Amino acid sequence: MEGEREVMLLLKRAVNAAEAATKEEEGARGSNVNESRCIELLKSLKDFPITVDVLKSTQIDKRVRHLKKHQRQKIRLMAVWLLEIWSNKIKADRSSSSNRGGKAISFQETKQSQLQD
């Protein structure tokens, strides 16, 4: 899907910026350029329609979860925030789907499914 490719491209750019931010000396002049770039890219990811199928096919959540351990606090917080947004979206989808009588899969069930694959 085109949307999945675009999401993965944004994530790749965010991860590259995060890696570059790691190499920059914190507090040095201009040292926040890559950190800011990473944060802006992660913010832009929140607007994409993340579904269980997208999580399964791209495993994007695993790559974002890795950023929760980044040395820069702002990047860590943004990764946590993004994962919470996606989790809430999936919970909302699950809730609305169950109201329609369909079976939805939770964020946690998706994780378990990925571990089994």
Say what the pTM is.
0.75
Please state, rounded to an integer, the average pLDDT across all residues of the chain: 82
Q: Tell me which long-range contacts 97-104 makes (C-beta under 8 A, separation of at least 24).
A: 104/52
Within-domain flag for 91: no
Q: How far apart are CA 67 and CA 19, in angstroms?
A: 10
Question: Does 41 have pLDDT greater than 70?
Answer: yes
CB contact set of 29 (below 8 Å; sequence gap of 6+) = none
| 31/73: higher pLDDT | 73
Place of tokens 């860590």: 76
Average pLDDT over residues 85-110: 69
Within-domain flag for 112: no
Within-domain flag for 25: yes
Within-domain flag for 116: no
Within-domain flag for 93: no
| 59/75: higher pLDDT | 75
Question: Does 65 have pLDDT greater than 90?
Answer: yes
User: What integer pLDDT is reported at residue 93 of this predicted model?
Assistant: 78
Within-domain flag for 53: yes
Within-domain flag for 45: yes
The range of the structural domain enclosing residue 76 comes to: 2-86
User: What integer pLDDT is reported at residue 18 of this predicted model?
Assistant: 95
pLDDT digits (tens, 9 = 90+) for 100-117: 554 445 555 555 555 555
Question: Does 31 have pLDDT greater than 70?
Answer: no
Percent of the chain at pLDDT above 90?
Answer: 44
Number of structural domains in the chain? 1
**Is 45:11 a contact under the CB 8 Å cutoff?**
yes
Q: What is the CATH number of the domain that holds 17?
A: 1.20.930
